[in-house]
Structures are given as structure tokens and as C-alpha cells.
Amino acid sequence: MMPLNMAKNSTWLCAFLLVPLLAFAGADTGRGRYTNVPARPDGIGKVYMGREIAKVMSYYGASWLERPERAEEERPERVLAALGLKPGMVVADIGAGSGYYSSRMAERVGPSGTVYAVDVQPEMIEILRLQMKQRRVTNVKPILGTATDPRLPQGALDLALMVDVYHELEYPYEMLGAIVRALKPGGRVVFVEFRGDDPQVPIKALHTMTEAQVRREAAVLPLEWVKTVGGLPWQHIIVFRKR
């Protein structure tokens, strides 16, 4: 989620999101799904289904995640309304970063619900813990994942959310497979991405995705498209259900 006007000296490291390597039992392992190309300035030189994967930011970008302008630019309340969260739900914030969405989801699922906030950077997890402490949020469980394991309980989630995250996954096929395994039957996975087909969106191209591309990549896993929600300034919300 790299804005065009980000300061030139911002530090971006390819270690923001975890990537489980285990695919569905009996399914394609993903071998041969990726090709290498000369990397563009904002990419990692790795292509999946015609899309170069974007670089990801390190914990140095946490302040951008918490910027005051985000409420106006992204309208998180509209995103949360589209999720249909209810008290007692078990949900995950994948690539949670500083916990911007984690705390807001926690409020909606209530004390009887749980939010798993997953990140691979120890520094980002510490930032998240501090944010939750300051906000007095007690039902968010930070998870320090590894490059191969999100450490999510299998078959436990009602919903998994990725906000401006999926396009940065180094192994999207494997990661999405791991997320689906963590869902309950009928559980949902929600992609929030900057619109890749809208020239008015002031975000670098590799950090955007079209609805068609998201649906193409989800189609190779046991997910069915439910709906696409518009009405946000720059993003769209694309919802799938586990088959």
C-alpha cells in the first residue's frame, strides 16, 4: 500500500507478511506458478498469474498506517460495516501492521469474540501490542508468524480480512490456501484493495488490484465470490466464501 507521495527516504523491506508454504492436501503445491522478471522499482521481480508482486513495507511505515487522513481517504467505518461482524465472532487481521483494523474489529466482535492479528515482524507486533494497550483492547491476540506459518487455528475463523495486503504477498497461492484452511465451513475472506482500474487512485500501480485479477487468483482455491462492494474513495471490497 505505497502512496505516490511517500517520502523518498522511506524504508521498505520485503518482510511484512508471512507466507505458509503448505498448500491444500492433495492439491497443487504451487510449484511452477511463479516466474521471475526484471524487477520494477516497486516490485520484487516475481510474477503470479500475470501480476508482478509488489514490495512490502517494514515497521518503519507504521506511522503511515495510523495517519489521521486515513479515515477520510479509506473510510474504514464503511469497510467494517460491509464485513457484517457480530459479537462472538472469531476473525483474523492478516498483515495487521500496527493494528489499525484489529482494534476496530475487536470492538465489533466484543469481549466474547477474538481477533487474531498476524504479522511476521517482531517490531510490528510490539507496535501493535502497544497500540492495543493504549486503546485498552483485550480481545486482540497478536501472532508473530513465520515465513511458512501464520499460526492460525485451522477451521476456527468466521472471517479473515486483508486490507491493502494481498498484492504484497510473496507467495499468494500458498498464503491464500493457508487462510482458507483456517476458515470455518462457509467462512469468508475479504480483500480490500486500491482499485487498479481507476486512474484517479493516487497509489502506485503495483500496489493496486483490479476486481478481475483478485477473482482470477481466488478462483484457483475453494472460494466462491459473494459480492464486490464499492462506495469507497479509492478502494473496493471483494468478498469470498469458503466452499
Domain range summary for the chain, segments of one domain joined by +: 34-242
* Cα distance between residue 41 and residue 55, in whole Å: 9
pLDDT of 10 reads 39
Strands 140-144 vs 114-119: parallel, antiparallel or unpaired: parallel
b/e per residue, 121-140, with b = 16+ CB within 10 A? beebbebbeebbeeeebebb
Q: What is the pLDDT of residue 19?
A: 36
Q: Which long-range contacts (CB under 8 A, 24 or more apart) does 37-42 make?
A: 40/206, 42/2, 42/204, 42/205, 42/206, 42/207
User: What nine digits make up the cell of 64?
Assistant: 503511515
Contact status, residue 7 vs residue 22, Cβ threshold 8 Å: no
Mark residue 50 as left, alpha or beta (left: phi above 0; alpha: psi -120 to 50; beta: remaining). left
Note the pLDDT of residue 207. 97
Domain over 34-242 is classified CATH 3.30.200.20 = no
pLDDT of residue 1: 61
Chain Cα centroid distance, residue 91 = 13
Please give the helix or strand (H or E) that residue 100 lies within, else none. helix 100-109
Q: Which three cell numbers mark 119?
A: 504479522
The predicted structure's pLDDT at residue 4: 53
Q: CA 158, CA 109: separation in Å to the nearest integer? A: 11
Residues of the chain with pLDDT below 50 are 5-29
Rounded Cα–Cα distance for residues 101 and 91 (Å): 11
pTM: 0.87
pLDDT for 58? 83
Cα–Cα distance, 148 to 16 (Å, whole number): 13
φ/ψ of 192, rounded to 5, equals -115, 115
* Cβ atoms 183, 222 nearer than 8 A: no
CA–CA separation, 84 and 140 (whole Å): 18
